[in-house]
Amino acid sequence: MPGKKAAIGQFASVNHMRRALLGTGAAALAAGLASPTFAGQAAPAGLAAAWRKALRIGVAISNETLDGQVARDLDLIAREFNSVTAENAMKWGVIRPDGVNWQWQRADRLVEFAARHDMYVLGHTLVWHSQIPRTVFNDQDGKPLTRAALLGRMEEHIATLVGRYRGRVHAWDVVNEAVDEDKGWRHSPWHDIIGDDFMEQAFRFARKADPAARLLYNDYNTHNPAKVAFLVDVFRGYRERGVPIDGVGLQSHIGLDYPDFDEFERSIAAFEALGLEVHITELDVDVLPNPNEKGAEVSNRFEYSRENDPWPNGLPDEVQKQLADRYEQFFRMLLRHRTSVKRVTFWGLHDGVSWKNGFPIRGRTNYPLLFDRNMRPKPAYERVMQLARAAL
Ligand code: XIL
């Protein structure tokens, strides 16, 4: 096994060697899967292999994994997933921390790792109001940019980032979270300076930078009928006017008892009816008490209380089972929409690194993913695997 800080390149070859020795891995054998399909590489085992006939299974890679080139994380990712998203590394404020100068190392590592493993790569995200320095929206005197100047900045950002990874990043979350629940366009500097067309401009710039990449709009609470109705209207207009959008990303930061899956499924059907691809982009299932009625609105924070952090030392079996049930129901729903749903991406590799331990309340112990804090598969993992075996 590679050392903890093995370079990604080193890791990949050792991993390949290990796979070659072990065949396609116990999970793949148990699933009755055939031999490798990727040229010169072993097929992924685990989740990605089990679901291969229906959709891709992705994971968000953290900055910590990329910075440390943590072999243990990358090994699990290569075994279980066939798609990756940078959890933070490609956001404006992370890849251009001072607003202007580029820090490519993390994103480069992610793209190289993915290429070595034939993974489908998501670029997240080009135009968002969060995790972006305020200076992006101001001129040298600190005054708000004009519409023309901000459009220029947007185009330069998209052309440079999408252009660098042309052909290697397969789909982009072009615009993230542009809609404010029941009220239409969200007020953000992007919207307020440029106007309602800021989003379509972003899609046009992205298409120009990589004509082959799939271009997505990504948002949370996409089960909310008012939000969906607004978006469906916007996208119908895009279709009519030739604005280059290919699909919609449903973040899917869900809980044990929200949202209502019938409502969620109606949203999938509504986007599907427009001929859009549907991607589940940031799946996790929060098991803790939820004070946040606004879903994944990242500016919402609440005070810590012991009452809101009921299971610091482990999840009770009963809740573990509820989590497995919930995941099974979710994947069953996706199976009903196999033609339009292309991918499911989990927002984090294991419970220990999930953003849900810190959001919307800091310092809690949450259990939203399929791997536990020791990176072992949970009952929910087994359930998702069983469903694939039974249904595909
Ligand atoms: C989150 C990351 O997981 C955190 O590490 C970061 O501190 C804040 O952002 N919607 C999105 C994601 O589109 O980019 C957010 O990711 C979660 C909500």
Q: With 90 as the cut, is the pLDDT of residue 363 above it?
A: yes
Confidence (pTM): 0.89
pLDDT band of 298, cuts 50, 70, 90: confident
Residue 25, sorted as left (phi over 0), alpha (psi -120 to 50) or beta, turns out to be left
C-alpha–C-alpha distance, residues 13 and 202, integer Å: 38
Of 36-40, 276-280, 367-371, 375-379, the poorest mean pLDDT is in 36-40
Using the mean position of ligand 1's atoms as its centre, give its distance from the Cα of residue 103 in Å: 19
**What pLDDT, on the 0 to 100 scale, is given for residue 44?**
64
Q: Where are the alpha helices (DSSP H) in the chain?
A: 8-22, 26-30, 46-50, 63-68, 71-80, 92-95, 105-116, 147-164, 189, 198-209, 225-241, 261-273, 317-335, 379-391
Pick the more confident residue, 43 or 281. 281
Q: With 80 as the cut, is the pLDDT of residue 170 above it?
A: yes
Using the mean position of ligand 1's atoms as its centre, give its distance from the Cα of residue 296 in Å: 9
26-39 pLDDT, tens digit per residue, is: 443 333 333 333 33
Residues with CB under 6 A from ligand 1: 87-88, 176, 251, 282, 296, 298, 355
The average pLDDT across 40-65 equals 88
Closest Cα to atom 12, ligand 1: which residue? 87
Closest Cα to atom 7, ligand 1: which residue? 355
Using the mean position of ligand 1's atoms as its centre, give its distance from the Cα of residue 180 in Å: 17
**What pLDDT, on the 0 to 100 scale, is given for residue 5?**
39
Q: With 70 as the cut, is the pLDDT of residue 76 above it?
A: yes
Q: With 90 as the cut, is the pLDDT of residue 10 above it?
A: no
**What pLDDT, on the 0 to 100 scale, is given for residue 294?**
61
What is the gyration radius of the CA atoms in the chain, in angstroms?
A: 21
Q: Which atom of ligand 1 is nearest to the CA of 347?
A: 3
**What pLDDT, on the 0 to 100 scale, is given for residue 301?**
78
Q: Answer whether 375's CB lies under 8 Å from 350's CB.
A: yes
Q: Which residues are catalytic?
A: 177, 282
C-alpha–C-alpha distance, residues 218 and 312, integer Å: 32
CA angle 110, 111, 113 (to 5 degrees): 65
Closest Cα to atom 16, ligand 1: which residue? 87
120-137 pLDDT, tens digit per residue, is: 999 999 999 999 999 999
Closest Cα to atom 10, ligand 1: which residue? 296
**What pLDDT, on the 0 to 100 scale, is given for residue 299?**
76
pLDDT band of 173, cuts 50, 70, 90: very high
Using the mean position of ligand 1's atoms as its centre, give its distance from the Cα of residue 291 in Å: 18
